[in-house]
Chains A and B, each alone.
Chain A
């Protein structure tokens, strides 16, 4: 242990340990295992003034759309591996395929495809912040429109 009392050796050893710690942390940050994708299917309409209490957390975002009524039709979460994909069944016989692409700078890249049966309605690639969301809406449904809140969080 006498060697450790020499300052240059202590510095070298400390530097190596610190570098190792940085490498482990960076590697751990860059490779989250899965992405938890959550799809909230909401019916927005002007037929009443009802606001579903389960949508409290999304109220400010939904009010942007200027509809009078919002009702949660379905809330589904699935764990999706990187470079994999999962299909979410959406009310009205539609489906939403979500494929996480990459994780960089605490943002998740998602490839999203909305289909109505065999007919594709929309293909988009979006980057959202980890634990963030975006809104996809517009398809007509039961006298209103369907609004999807698509959120993702790394696991």
Chain B
């Protein structure tokens, strides 16, 4: 070998007609003066012609009619509406753009959750400021519930009426709610 081993792939591409004009001319000139490459060219051409002959003789025996019938059937086949819809959606939203929607939504969700966690009440100061009374049991006593909107105050007020318990008489505080 004269160091022309790396030329073999180029010779194969040359024989297949895959080389550009300049590469083609350069390799042709080289093969003309290089015995080793000339021999490789001859060997590859022989191999190619043998394969081609074998392929042509075998191809005659193959029946292509069923294959073409199947192809024609597939071409003429009416596709279901959802398949059409999916395809048009795919055309409108190319895959790379859709792929980034998923993490983008997740990041947005993360931002919303984090804001609520680190900046409580960011959605509006007064939105949830009122206390909500879910149940009251004053054991038979009078009870009043007041919600004052200016100060967002919730007041639960226990009071005794005039005929209330004895201890009411001992106190000088007003018996009814003062508000």
Q: Chain A: residues with CB nearer than 8 A to chain B?
A: 7-8, 11, 14-15, 18-19, 21-22, 25-26, 28-29, 44-46, 60-61, 64-67, 105-107, 109, 114, 120-141, 143-145
> Please, which residue of chain A has its CB at the minimum distance from the CB of B148?
A64
- Contact (Cβ within 8 A) A11 B103: yes
Q: Assess the A134–B156 pair: CB atoms within 8 A.
A: yes
Per DSSP, chain B at the interface is: mixed
Name the residue on B nearest A124 (C-beta): B136
Q: How many residues on the B side are at the interface (Cβ–Cβ under 8 A)?
A: 50
A65, B167: Cβ atoms closer than 8 Å: no
Shortest Cβ gap from A28 to chain B (Å): 7
Distance of B109 from chain A, by nearest CB (Å): 6
Among listed B14-22, B68-76, B110-118, interface-contacting one: B110-118
- Any A CB within 8 A of the CB of B137: yes
Q: Which chain B positions have C-beta within 8 A of A46? A: 174
Partner of A18, one of B103, B143, B155, B158: B103
In the complex the two chains form, is B99's CB within 8 Å of A18's CB? no
Could you tell me the distance between the alpha carbons of A7 and B97 in the complex, rounded to whole angstroms?
11
| Assembled-state Cα–Cα distance A144/B159 (Å) | 12
A66 cross-chain contacts in B, Cβ below 8 A: 178-179
Specify the chain A residue showing the minimal Cβ separation from B151. Answer: A60
Contacts A64-B179, A66-B178, A136-B156; A25 near B114 (Cβ below 8 A): yes
Q: Given that A67-B178, A128-B131 are known contacts, is A137 also in contact with B99, CB under 8 Å in the complex? A: no
Given A135-B153, A138-B159, A144-B173, A7–B134 Cβ distance below 8 Å?
Answer: no
